[in-house]
């Protein structure tokens, strides 16, 4: 079942990008909300050079794999902006209860937490990414900047 769903997803993405190209649209940015990095990397290899960026989301954990490949900016997860001392940005008690008991629990945003803001900044010319950075700003004002690797 999952393989069929992925096949439909990848074929649909390919057709959508082709349709946008046929309309003369050059800057195409994909937010790929997927569970695993392998799906996101597969999408990169399918569409590299055809889209401006593929920015993975969903896992809430920022990855350090920012790169530019054939004019396509890629990161498998831009990461959560929010509580960094919980679980997926939420108070850690409910997810822990779910893991330990298998019972559902309501996810809540903690009243006090350490915060993080993560941003990907891209320079795009004629639909191609020519430069990219990932910026992380922590609540204590510490800032980390990562420059993309280029292939």
- Provide the residue range defining the domain that includes 14: 2-85+113-150
Residue 35's contacts (CB-CB under 8 Å, 6 or more residues apart) are: 58, 59
User: What are the pLDDT digits (tens) for 110-119?
Assistant: 888 888 888 9
- Residue 113 has which token pair? 């937490």
Query: Residue 129 is part of a domain; what is its CATH number?
Result: 3.60.21.10
* 106 falls within a domain: no
Structural domain count, the chain: 1
Residue 90 CA from chain centroid, whole number: 18
User: What are the pLDDT digits (tens) for 8-45?
Assistant: 999 999 999 999 999 999 999 999 998 889 999 999 99
Question: What is the rounded CA–CA span in Å between residue 34 and residue 69?
Answer: 20
* 97 falls within a domain: no
* 16 falls within a domain: yes
User: What are the pLDDT digits (tens) for 37-86?
Assistant: 999 999 999 999 999 999 999 888 888 999 999 999 999 999 887 788 88
- Residue 5 has which token pair? 């769903």
């Amino acid at each position: 079942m999952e393989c069929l769903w992925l096949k439909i997803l990848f074929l649909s993405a390919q057709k959508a990008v082709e349709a946008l190209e046929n309309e003369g649209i050059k800057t195409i940015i994909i937010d790929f909300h997927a569970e695993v990095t392998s799906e996101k990397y597969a999408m990169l290899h399918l569409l590299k050079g055809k889209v401006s960026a593929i920015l993975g989301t969903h896992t809430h954990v920022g990855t350090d794999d920012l790169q530019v490949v054939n004019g396509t900016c890629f990161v498998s997860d831009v990461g959560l902006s929010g509580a960094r001392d919980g679980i997926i940005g939420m108070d850690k008690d409910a997810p822990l209860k779910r893991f330990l008991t298998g019972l559902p629990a309501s996810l809540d945003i903690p009243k006090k937490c350490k915060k993080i803001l993560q941003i990907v900044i891209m320079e795009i010319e004629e639909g191609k990414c020519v430069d990219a950075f990932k910026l992380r700003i922590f609540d204590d004002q510490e800032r980390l900047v990562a420059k993309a690797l280029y292939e």
